[in-house]
């Protein structure tokens, strides 16, 4: 039995093995009494254990990480009904848990699930496909290589901008020359438009 096939079903206690999925639900087998039954997706929700995350003081961690820590610790499992004992146990086993957001009911559930998984001898690990989906941590050399690639195009852009800047400097000079030539006709037109004064008559002509 694989860990990737184990699911939790809302409204039903314990854990189940997913036997077959259907459009309106799934056929599951209980890990406690080994009975199989159909569960409707209209009434219940299904959660694969390998997709469940747990709140920590840093980033969320996958549930399997907590379960593996419980397995390696060798600590005796606490009484599920004793909230103080549950918290003291996880403080030793996985102290990074965010105990303000991980409630006693969650701790109780993890202890129950751990017991069921161990009783069924299920190996606590996520599938390779799930592990491959996680982004790989970049090596220190990668950022430097990316930075070099980003710098080289910038230098080419600077070289291309230099001729353009020279053209822009030359462009205003070329524009000013026609503007000066256009001023002369306008002045001539304005002068021609002024009314001419009639010549003054001499007194002898009266």
Tell whether 193 is covered by a domain. Answer: no
Tell whether 200 is covered by a domain. Answer: no
> Residue 58 is part of a domain; what is its CATH number?
1.10.10.1650
Tell whether 180 is covered by a domain. Answer: no
Tell whether 101 is covered by a domain. Answer: yes
The percent of residues in the chain predicted with pLDDT above 70, rounded, is: 62
Tell whether 192 is covered by a domain. Answer: no
Q: Give the residue numbers spanning the domain of 60.
A: 3-128
pTM above 0.75, yes or no: no
Nearest CA to 68 out of 109, 114, 29 is that of: 114
Each residue's pLDDT tens digit, 109-167 = 999 999 999 999 999 998 764 444 444 333 333 333 333 333 334 444 444 444 444 44
Tell whether 138 is covered by a domain. Answer: no
Tell me what the mean pLDDT of segment 17-21 comes to: 95
Tell whether 11 is covered by a domain. Answer: yes
Each residue's pLDDT tens digit, 61-73 = 999 999 999 999 9
Tell me what the mean pLDDT of segment 46-75 comes to: 95
Q: Is 59's pLDDT higher than 60?
A: yes
Q: How many domains does the chain have?
A: 1
Tell whether 121 is covered by a domain. Answer: yes
């Amino acid at each position: 039995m694989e860990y990737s096939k184990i699911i939790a079903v809302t409204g039903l206690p314990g854990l189940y093995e997913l036997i077959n999925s259907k459009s309106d639900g799934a056929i599951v087998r209980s890990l406690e009494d080994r009975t199989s039954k159909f569960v409707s997706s209209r009434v219940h929700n299904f959660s694969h254990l390998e997709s469940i995350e747990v709140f920590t003081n840093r980033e969320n961690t996958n549930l399997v990480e907590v379960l593996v820590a419980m397995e390696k610790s060798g600590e005796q499992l606490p009484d599920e009904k004793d909230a103080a004992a549950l918290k003291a146990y996880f403080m030793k086993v996985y102290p990074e848990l965010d105990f303000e957001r991980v409630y006693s009911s969650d701790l109780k559930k993890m202890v129950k699930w751990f017991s069921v998984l161990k009783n069924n001898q299920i190996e606590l690990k996520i599938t390779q496909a799930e592990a491959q989906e996680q982004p790989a941590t970049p090596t220190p050399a990668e950022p430097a290589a990316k930075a070099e690639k980003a710098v080289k195009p910038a230098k080419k852009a600077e070289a291309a901008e230099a001729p353009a800047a020279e053209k822009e400097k030359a462009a205003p000079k070329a524009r000013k020359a026609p503007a000066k030539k256009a001023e002369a006709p306008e002045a001539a037109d304005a002068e021609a438009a002024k009314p001419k004064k009639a010549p003054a008559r001499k007194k002898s002509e009266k």
